[in-house]
Amino acid sequence: YTIKITGKNRDDVQAALARSGVSTMVYYEKPLHKLPVYAGMGVTVPASEAVAEQVLSLPIWPKIDRETQERVVEALTEAMK
């Protein structure tokens, strides 16, 4: 489940979650227009560039149990302090 981290550094939050045993992913570290295939096009998309530094995907899967959900929420709450 992808969330947007505001008010904190996304990478710091990700590291804190990892220390708490919660695995996360950053699926798009670069916005599409920054990928090598588009190099040289001279495109700037400030909103995409900003969001690429803020989004973080939390664990989610079919039938995730309530205990795991609560553990993720607690770890995220701590990481955001």
| 32, two tokens | 């599409």
N-to-C CA span, the chain: 20
pLDDT in tens, 44-56: 899 999 999 999 9
Mean pLDDT value across the chain: 95
pLDDT at 40 over 90: no
Give the contacts of 28 (CB within 8 A, at least 6 positions apart).
Answer: 52, 55
- Whole-prediction pTM: 0.88
pLDDT in tens, 3-16: 999 999 999 999 99
Task: Phi first, then psi: give them for residue 26, nearest 5 degrees.
Answer: -115, 105
